[in-house]
Every structure is written in C-alpha cells, then in structure tokens.
Amino acid sequence: MRSPESKLPGVGTTIFTVMSRLAEDCGAINLSQGFPDFQPPGELLDLVSHHLKAGRNQYPPMIGVASLREEIAGKLAGLYGVQTDPDTEITVTSGATEALFCAIHAIVRAGDEVIVFDPAYDSYDPAIRLAGGTPVHIPLLAPGFEPDWERIRSSLNQRTRLVIVNTPHNPTGAVLTEEDLGLLADLIAPYRTYVLSDEVYEHIVFDGRRHASVLANEALAPRSFAVFSFGKTYHATGWKVGYCAAPAALTAEFRRVHQFNTFTTTTPLQYALADYLAQCPGHYLDLPDFYQRKRDLFLQLMERSRFRLTPSAGTYFQLADYSDVSDLPDAEMARWLTKEHGVAVIPVSAFYEDPPKTRFIRFCFAKESATLTEAAERLSDL
C-alpha cells in the first residue's frame, strides 16, 4: 500500500526535538530546548505525592478540577483585575500547545486567514493548516522585534478570522505593552476577527516591566482566547498542564474540540497545582526576579565572548547575534556549536516562513548557574 498523501507535507520533526537529540548524541550542554535543568518546588512535589497516594488517580472533569479552575480565576483577578467564571470561562488543558490547537480549531474554518508574527512558535502554522486556514506571516521588526502596524493594517480583511499574538515572545524575548494591545484592538475593530494570545511566559518579565494580558483589555477580551502554562511557571514542563481563559461563548466552542482531543488532564497534578496556588502564591510573584538573576548572570558570563546579546525583556530565552563569530547560516551554526564546541542552541530561522538574512541563535538560560558558566566558557573561547 502506498503511503497516504500528507496533510502537512512541508512539516518535519520540530527543531526542538532535532537539537535536543543532537545535544544528547554529542554530550553537549543543552541550551536549546526550553526546559529547566532544576526541579519544581519541593512543596509542590510533596503535594503531587500526596494526591497520588490519596487516590486522585481517575478521570477528572473534562473542563478541569473545580478547585484548580477556582484558583486560576482568583489568580487572574489578582493579577489582571478581571473576573472569569471558573465553570464557563476556564478550561484546564494538557499543556499550552493543546490549548493553542483547540482554540485554532474551534474558530478557524476552511478559507479563513490567520495572522501570525514571525519569528513564531512552530505549532501555530501546522494547526492553522490542519484546520483548513491560511497562515499570513508578518515579520516582526528587528532589532527590537516590534509589530509592523502598517503591514498588519494592510493585511487585515474580511477573511481574517484570527490574529495570534505571543507575549512575552518566544523566541525573541520581546514583550508587548498595553499600548500595543490597544493598537491591535483598534485595527481589528471593523472585522469579525478573534485573537489567540499565547501568554505562557506571563510571569517571566524583566527590568520592572508588567505583563500585558488580552484579558485586561476591554476591547480585546470579548473576542480573545488567552493561553497559559503551569509547566513554565513551576519548572515542570514535562507535566504538560496549561489552561485557556476565554468568554463563555468562545469557551463552549473550545471545549467541543478539547473533549475529543485529550479530553482531560492528569488528575493528581491538577489537585496539587490547586493546593500550591492557594498555599504558595509567592512563587509566581517572585519568578521575574528569579529569572532576571539568571539572565543577568548569563549576560555577564558572555561579556568576553564575540557574541552580541541585547538583554531579553522576557521569557527565559536570550537571542545572540553571532555575526562576529561566523558567517555560517544559523542552522549550520547551531549544529557546529553542538558538535564541535558542546553547546546546543536553536537557530532562529526555524521560526520563520521566510527567514531574513540575519545571524541569530537562541539560548535557554533556565539552567543552574554551573550549567550557564560552563556553556559561556566554551562559547567565549570561540
């Protein structure tokens, strides 16, 4: 029997899988894929153990454990001053990527256009295409990676069903402001266009900045899905627990997809996260300072290298311009650094539909100080 015709013929293995596998094969320090090399909080691990042993091991509700949804609603109210109904407007998901997929498939139909800002997280485009939509890629403006408002204005039309924003932004670390969200709201006001806001790094913002959520924008909130991640917040990316907050009508459509995708999410983790949110809210409040110390350490360690780094405004990623080190294309540069110098990174071109002629690679600094020190020493010898 012949192989079936692919629905995603241009899609291969994700760059994250490729580079992490190469790092493992080469014994390299892995600053590529975005996961910490340290453990989640001990109290949270104890709560997971407690709920495992307490028998919380069967199916939870499809929409998520009630206590967790209630804690999420309280957190959103405290941080962004918004009221969300935990029963009709919050859904717990098996990671943020599942939430992104469900939101796209809930709203995008065949022939719809979806605006995506490059460099973009690589799950957006395939999910749009699987839904029958057409991705419209608009590059962010380097070197600050700000939105190109004039190009956005000219790209909007009656077929624009969805705009996907990501703040803080992976891979660049750029952060949208409340003014940016206001401009977006004004531009899409004449259209029946929805917004999907990927806010998984909401707590990782630096230098006194504040995260601007679509939920707090009165014009955008009624037409927006906002997606968040517990894995990013609690150093537990392998748990794959996230959530989506959206108005009741949008949530109803979201859940139609979610229930036939993963249906629900690991039970003891949900109960543990609910308890930890109630008992230790200081964790996410302290996260900006925690990761800023790691960012600043990495920047300091890299000062004697020939890489040029502009401090990341958010996330636990740091871009570096390697123009003074090599003229290799970034994918080749990433492989060379991994194989020959023992440091795995991500080539930024992997996040573009049409990569520009720039020389950027992405480091993940969610690592122990010793890991960052050893990596910087190897990079500074180039």
The answer to whether residues 121 and 249 belong to one domain is: yes
Are residue 186 and residue 109 in the same domain, yes or no? yes
Are 240 and 311 in the same domain?
Answer: no
Average pLDDT, the chain: 96
Pick from 298, 301, 219, 270: nearest CA to 52: 270
- Structural domains of the chain, count: 2
* Same-domain status, 197 and 268: yes
Answer yes or no: is 260 within a domain: yes
For residue 26, give its domain range.
15-40+283-380
Q: Which of 279, 298, 318 is the last residue of a domain?
A: 279
Residue 49 within a domain: no
Over residues 283-300, mean pLDDT: 98
Averaged pLDDT for residues 262-289: 97
Summarize the confidence of residues 159-163 as an average pLDDT: 98
Residues 79 and 170 in one domain: yes
Q: What is the pLDDT of residue 10?
A: 84
Say yes or no: 68 and 177 in one domain: yes
For residue 218, tell me if it sits in a domain: yes
pLDDT in tens, 166-180: 999 999 999 999 999
Residue 78 pLDDT greater than 90, yes or no: yes
- pLDDT given at position 114: 98
Is residue 358's pLDDT more than 90? no
Last residue of a domain, one of 279, 300, 326: 279
For residues 237 and 347, membership in a common domain is answered with no
Cβ atoms of residues 150 and 185 within 8 Å: no
Distances 176 to 99, 140, 163, 180, 181 between C-alpha atoms, Å: 21, 12, 14, 6, 7
Structural domain includes residue 162:
yes
Residue type, 126: P
Determine the pLDDT at residue 298. Answer: 98
Phi (first) and psi of residue 57, to 5 degrees: -125, 10
The percentage of the chain sitting over the pLDDT mark of 90, rounded to a whole number, equals: 93
Q: What are phi and psi of 251, to 5 degrees?
A: -60, -40
The pLDDT assigned to 357 comes to 86
- Tell me: do 65 and 212 sit in the same domain: yes
pLDDT above 90 for 369: yes
The pLDDT value given to residue 1: 81
pLDDT per residue as tens digits for the range 89-108:
999 999 999 999 999 999 99
Average pLDDT over residues 281-300: 97
Tell me the average pLDDT across 327-343. Answer: 96
Instruction: Convert the pLDDT of each residue in 201-245 to its tens digit.
Output: 999 999 999 999 999 999 999 999 999 999 999 999 999 999 999
Interval 75-79 mean pLDDT: 98
CA distance 333 to 329: 6
Q: Is residue 9 part of a domain?
A: no
Q: What is the CATH number of the domain that holds 340?
A: 3.90.1150.10
Note whether residue 5 is domain-resident.
no
Has residue 2 been placed in a domain?
no
pLDDT tens-digit readout, 246-263: 999 999 999 999 999 999
Looking at the fold, whether 119 and 230 belong to one and the same domain comes out as yes
Q: Where are the alpha helices (DSSP H) in the chain?
A: 15-26, 42-53, 66-80, 96-107, 124-130, 149-155, 178-188, 230-233, 248-258, 267-279, 282-301, 330-341, 369-380
Task: Answer whether residue 6 is part of any domain.
Answer: no
Whether the per-residue pLDDT at 150 is higher than 90: the answer is: yes
Predicted confidence band of residue 372 (pLDDT cuts 50, 70, 90): very high
Spatial separation of the C-alpha atoms in residues 50 and 156, rounded to whole Å: 51
